[in-house]
Amino acid sequence: MKVVLAGINVPVKILENLPEEEKKKATPEVISAAYARISRSEKDVDELIDESIENISKARKSNEAIIYGMGHHSVADHTIFNLNIKGVSRLLVESIEKRRLAGYTEKSQRYVTLDGDYIKPKEFSLRDLAKFDELVKFQNDFYFKANPKLIEFLKRKFPKRNLRELEGSAKEDARYSLCLATEAQLGCSYTGQTTELAIRELKYGRLQEEREFARLLYDTIVEKAPSIIQLTDPELFKQHNPGQELKDDNFKYTEKNTRDLVEKSFNQYKNLGSNNSGEDVTLVNHNNPDRQIIAALLHTYSKKPINDCYVLADKLIDEGQAKDFVKGSLKHISEFDKVPRAFETGFLVYEVIVSSSCFAQLKRHRMNTLLSQDYDPELGYMIPPNIEEVGLSQELTDVCNGSANLYNDFKKKYGKAAEYCLTNAHGRRVVVATNVRQLYHISRIREDETAQWEIRDKTSNMSELARKVAPITTMLLGGKHRFKNIYSRVMEK
């Protein structure tokens, strides 16, 4: 057995100090080209790496032939781009972080100074930009007023807690007044395919900021790795792949066409009855998770066909033995462990209404399917309990109403860009399609006592609804701080 470290992430500033010849070789295309040839060459992988390093032009042609000629796009994921992204809005960050195969670390709004650090939407006219500036001042004034009051309140309420922790909690609640144009910065690591997809999608985004980001991302990457992101530009693709043509129609038209179709369909059937429960968290669908998971456990650890496993799963459930079976399979689990992969077969689909502040937490769980609507002031806004307790709920309500009024004024003129006016307190609907294994992960983190209050509340409701339809396989759901108590109670029964 042999393990060789073939590459590591190195800051570009270090690479720039290399001799000119070495600098030319410092491209991530080397790794992807060498790995792409593993399955088609008799040579050792170490030799393939050496060849790619010594002949970058050949490495690029190899990438083009294998990624685009043969269609093996996964080879591009051996390439990782580490991106420092600054001066972008909270609204754009949501678009940047939609992709699964990536890493994101975002600067917390706990450390935002609010010293003019919000983006000025280029869609807005000068006259409307002046109105927007006044709104942002109104929103920020509430933050500056609420933050010190919340700190003093929390110090009295939790006298034994660390001051820094209390200050963080105060900012967490005060920031509900901040708008979606507030500046953010993040470290973002995209794989090759993810980079390509981000550029292709965002260059036709509904926000000018999205389109500008796509252009900057392309300009930043194309010189360093032209063989990896050719699907981002029809002309670049044609140049490197003679005789082939790339169409952008899917990214250019599909979203708008679908929006038009949806609007037409709802207009055609205006008298549909509503089944809206009025709840912030609703379990809208599931696939009998207990049965599915037990059958998957039986199948994984036997050599029986799946239909036999379903028959036995039904018998275990009907005869009351299923709980002991699942308890036995989880006997050695700890609060830091994941439940078995078989738990991924238990599907759950929720609709949740969350504030922008809460969505910033939820979107980190990108292994789930998260389908979010646009922000909608008609859904109201979330007022943190601490804001109510210090007597500032009416003032935050006034901020939210003022923000919604300007949003409504701008919506017909600027479309999606009107959302820059809205606050972290405003809500949107999100479909969360998940599985029981993922729900355990979310529950451990977001139901923990240290979690932000709104995501903790929403996750608690998701767990409670899951227990109703899958009481056996969800028996250990709960925040990390409660795991030992939950485990003892369940296993002693």
Length of the chain counted residue by residue: 493
- Rounded-to-integer distance, Cα 151 and Cα 167, Å: 6
**What pLDDT does 14 receive?**
84
**What pLDDT does 112 receive?**
66
Same domain, yes or no, for 171 and 36?
no
Q: H helices then E strands: how many in the chain? A: 21, 7
Residue 208 domain flag: yes
Longest dimension (CA), the chain: 74
Structure-block tokens of residue 13: 């500033």
Say how far residue 278 (Cα) sits from the centre of its chain: 26
Pairing of strands 80-89, 183-191: antiparallel
Which CATH number fits the domain that encloses residue 212? Answer: 3.30.1360.170
Q: Which domain holds residue 47?
A: 12-78
Residue 266 domain flag: no
Considering only CA atoms, which of 207, 195, 190, 266 is closest in space to residue 233? 195
Same domain, yes or no, for 161 and 56?
no
**What pLDDT does 78 receive?**
87
Considering only CA atoms, which of 455, 454, 445, 456 is closest in space to residue 480? 445
What is the phi-psi region of residue 380: left when phi exceeds 0, alpha when psi lies from -120 to 50, beta otherwise?
left
Residue 193 vs residues 96, 229, 282, 413: alpha-carbon distances, Å: 14, 8, 34, 35
410 close to 459: Cβ distance less than 8 angstroms? no
- Rounded-to-integer distance, Cα 480 and Cα 478, Å: 7
**What pLDDT does 147 receive?**
94
Last residue of one domain, picked from the residues 42, 61, 78: 78
Residue 449 domain flag: no
Give 435's strand partners. 347
Rounded CA Rg of the chain: 26
DSSP assignments along 380-414, one per residue? -B---HHHHHTT-HHHHHHHHHHHHHHHHHHHHHH
Residue 131 domain flag: yes
pLDDT tens digits along 165-212: 899 899 999 999 999 999 999 999 999 999 999 999 999 999 999 999
Residue 323 vs residues 441, 474, 477: alpha-carbon distances, Å: 21, 10, 15
Considering only CA atoms, which of 4, 12, 1 is closest in space to residue 48? 4
Same domain, yes or no, for 65 and 154?
no
Q: Which residues contact 14 (CB under 8 A, 6 or more apart)?
A: none
Same domain, yes or no, for 231 and 118?
yes
Same domain, yes or no, for 112 and 230?
yes
Give the number of other Cβ atoms within 10 Å of residue 201's Cβ.
17
Same domain, yes or no, for 116 and 179?
yes
344 close to 435: Cβ distance less than 8 angstroms? yes
Last residue of one domain, picked from the residues 304, 328, 343: 343
Give 347's strand partners. 435
431 close to 371: Cβ distance less than 8 angstroms? yes
Residue 441 domain flag: no
Give the number of other Cβ atoms within 10 Å of residue 275's Cβ.
7
**What pLDDT does 8 receive?**
79
Residue type, 342: A
Same domain, yes or no, for 213 and 292?
no
**What pLDDT does 72 receive?**
80
Same domain, yes or no, for 86 and 232?
yes
**What pLDDT does 289 receive?**
98
Residue type, 260: D
Residue 4's φ and ψ, nearest 5 degrees, are: -115, 130
- Rounded-to-integer distance, Cα 90 and Cα 93, Å: 5
**What pLDDT does 243 receive?**
83
Residue 349 in 3-state DSSP?
Answer: strand
- Rounded-to-integer distance, Cα 420 and Cα 124, Å: 10
Q: Look-up: residue for tokens 């600054």? A: 86
- Rounded-to-integer distance, Cα 140 and Cα 146, Å: 10
Same domain, yes or no, for 132 and 226?
yes
Block means of pLDDT (10 residues each) for the chain, length 493 residues? 80 85 83 82 84 85 80 85 94 96 86 78 98 97 95 94 91 95 94 94 97 96 88 87 88 96 92 79 97 98 98 98 97 95 98 97 95 96 97 98 98 98 98 98 96 96 98 97 95 82
65 close to 29: Cβ distance less than 8 angstroms? no
Please report which helix (H) or strand (E) contains residue 191, including its range: strand 183-191
Residue 417 domain flag: no
Same domain, yes or no, for 220 and 96?
yes
Say how far residue 41 (Cα) sits from the centre of its chain: 38
DSSP assignments along 408-434, one per residue? HHHHHHHGGGGGGGSBTTBEEEEEEEE
Total domains in the chain come to 3
Residue 246 domain flag: no
Last residue of one domain, picked from the residues 179, 213, 240: 240
Please report which helix (H) or strand (E) contains residue 350, including its range: strand 347-355
Same domain, yes or no, for 21 and 106?
no
Same domain, yes or no, for 200 and 311?
no
Residue 186 domain flag: yes
